[in-house]
Structure 1
Amino acid sequence: MKSAIPTIQRLSRTTANATTRFRPAGSPTPRPSTRRTFATTPRRTKSKDDNKDENTHLPPGEFFSVVDEPGTIVRAGYRRSTAGLLFLAIIPVTAFILGTWQVQRLKWKTDLIARLEDRLVRDPLPLPPRIDPSAVPEFDYRRVVATGRFRHDREMLIGPRMRDGEQGYMVVTPLERPDGASTILVNRGWISKKMGDQRARSPDALPRGMVTVEGLLREPWKKNMFTPDNKPEKGEFYFPDVREMAAWSGSEPVWIEVTMEPEYLRFLDLQAQGIPIGRPAEVNLRNNHAQYIFTWYGLAAATSVMLWMVAKRPVSASEAARRVRMNKQW
């Protein structure tokens, strides 16, 4: 035991000398370091399977940060488009022009309705024996009186036509006037679909003697592109084409609409007998120009505000806008 102790002491001194052999003289004795060395995670190429989790295939204890993604340089400044400003400026100008045009249309329609309503209050005008069809528009909505016999064998049903939710037809019958006067077309009114056959109507619905008709002289109707063509050879009429119907029935292209006072109980009785129900003596022209004026002027005001907000936005000082680094995966 005594010989072993000096040997251990010599080994200790030898180890201490070996430790201090490579340390400069006077330098402090180093202490064990507890700082963690910084190391970056190497970038890897993403595969098609890396859609669910970015850190799925990394070794344990490591992670893949979004800062390791390759960045993309994008423009962050605002650049004003001249073409866009011009297009946006056209909208309020066009809307204002259309609104002004609707103001003129409103005045024209108001004057027209007032002129037609003035004709309604005048006494009925006896229809002359011969009528110039080109002069009919000047007497549109004029109350007239005509006498003659109905040609029920040339009756024409125009339909379908709806009234109070029920389907039916307009009954147009030529009126053959005496003393060599021309035959004219008379729109007697509406009947239900089940009364389309003359045999289903009462005798009062088919007067045989001389009758006096009072109604409104109307100019020929205008057909739209969605209405099918009439088929006179089959007795099918979908639109009151006055000239076509006059040529088919041997009449003059003059159209009269029978008028009646709106009495609900009387209409029920006429409908049950199959007697045509005439129209009320009133002007039924649509006048929605005031709504159009509000719509166009409102659009002009709204787009003007939008143009002002876009025009007042500041533009970047230099042509090269400020750039930022953006990650596509953020």
Structure 2
Amino acid sequence: MTSAYASTLLTRTFRRSNHLASRTFLRNGLQCPKCGQGLAVQTRSIHSPADDPSFTSIVDNPPNLVRSGRKHGPGLIILALIPLTAFALGTWQVQRLDWKTKLIAKLEDRLVRSPLPLPPNINPEAIAEFDYRRVFATGHFRHDQEMLIGPRLHDGNNGYMVITPLERGDEGTTILVNRGWIPKSLKRQADRKEGLPTEEVTVEGLLREPWKKNMFTPDNKPELGEFYFPDVEQMAKLTGSQPVWIEETMEPDLLKAYDREAKGIPIGRAAEVNLRNNHAQYIFTWYALAAATSVMLWMVVKKPPTGVARRVRQNKEW
């Protein structure tokens, strides 16, 4: 190493030491030992955030840790109630299916029995025990007290149900007979003379319980001769009959039905139980809904969080 190179190296080292010392003096608020004016010149270029009186550090105002991506609201509770409710309704429909199946079997057992003669006086409260029981009664139709219930559809055609009191001569009582359906075009009695027998007749039919009105069916207007549903009690008072309802039956025969329709003779119903039994479909629907919504609930609960699992929400005062 030459003396010139050593001299240059010592000079650079000395200058660097003086510079660091000068910066150290400025940070500590001391004057430079050489010029004495370094503090005034250099302090204007060095500023710390802590010098601001309104400065707040993270120690004074810490951040809030917020969990994100796995939070569930009230919707999860509603989603959990759906499968429980659907399962309960499906179970209820299982019970309804058992009840309806037994009821239809009991009514069909009554249909296979031989028809009974209708007694002169009938206790209305006992009719429920003989619902769908085949009976027969003899008497004369009171066509002057005939009532038409409608509109009623039969094979897609509009018409009416003919309700005629049957006056039983020997017994001295009257009952209501649902003779069957006629087309709307033969509403007037003058257009269906063949369907108005005047001689003594024997009517065979089903003893039925009084009908229950549908909430969408309008009220009857007997003063105008308009009936929309068979109100047995109302019709019995109007005609002076017993509140006994008989539905006349006939053998299912398409040609015979066409002939009756053309002549204005009411088409009676078939001797069969016409109660609807759709509870098996309801069971499948409710249980399928319970299974589907249970899978949806499991997917929502087990769904992994998207993005960062936790994030820092900055304080509003920062």
For Structure 1 versus Structure 2, the TM-score category normalised by the shorter chain is: 0.7 to 0.9
Q: Of residues 228, 242, 260 in structure 2, which corresponds to 1:238?
A: 228
Q: Which residue of 2 aligns with 1:172?
A: 163
Shift of 1:201: 1.0
8 Å contact 2:174–2:242 — kept in the other structure? yes
8 Å contact 2:208–2:245 — kept in the other structure? yes
Q: Which residue of 1 aligns with 2:193?
A: 202
Name the SS of the counterpart of 1:191 in structure 2: strand
Q: 1: distance between equivalents of 2:158 and 2:291?
A: 45
Shift of 1:86: 2.0
Alignment of 1:139 onto 2:139: no
Shift of 1:322: 6.9
Q: 2: distance between equivalents of 1:266 and 1:111?
A: 34
Q: 2: distance between equivalents of 1:322 and 1:78?
A: 13
8 Å contact 1:77–1:322 — kept in the other structure? no
Q: 1: distance between equivalents of 2:130 and 2:172?
A: 19
Q: When the two structures are aligned, how many residues end up with a matched partner?
A: 248
Residue 270 to residue 320, structure 1, CA distance change in 2 (3 Å): same
Shift of 1:319: 8.1
Shift of 1:295: 0.6
Shift of 1:76: 10
Q: 1: distance between equivalents of 2:218 and 2:103?
A: 30
Q: Which residue of 2 aligns with 1:95?
A: 86
Q: 2: distance between equivalents of 1:84 and 1:274?
A: 62
8 Å contact 2:205–2:248 — kept in the other structure? yes
Q: Of residues 82, 91, 95 in structure 2, which corresponds to 1:104?
A: 95
Query: Unaligned regions of 5+ residues in structure 2, if any?
Result: 1-65, 314-318
8 Å contact 2:110–2:132 — kept in the other structure? yes
Q: 2: distance between equivalents of 1:318 and 1:162?
A: 66
Shift of 1:77: 4.0
Q: 2: distance between equivalents of 1:198 and 1:294?
A: 49
Q: Which residue of 1 aligns with 2:293?
A: 303
Q: Of residues 168, 186, 204 in structure 2, which corresponds to 1:214?
A: 204
Alignment of 1:270 onto 2:268: no
8 Å contact 2:210–2:232 — kept in the other structure? yes
Alignment of 1:149 onto 2:117: no
Q: TM-score, normalised by structure 1?
A: 0.72
Deviation digits for residues 62-85 of structure 1, max 9, x if unmatched?
A: xxxxxxxxxxxxx99413215332
Q: Of residues 72, 77, 83 in structure 2, which corresponds to 1:86?
A: 77
Shift of 1:161: 1.0
Q: TM-score, normalised by structure 2?
A: 0.74
Shift of 1:94: 0.9
Q: Of residues 181, 201, 215 in structure 2, which corresponds to 1:190?
A: 181
Shift of 1:316: 8.4
Shift of 1:260: 0.6
Runs of 4+ more than 6 Å apart: 316-319
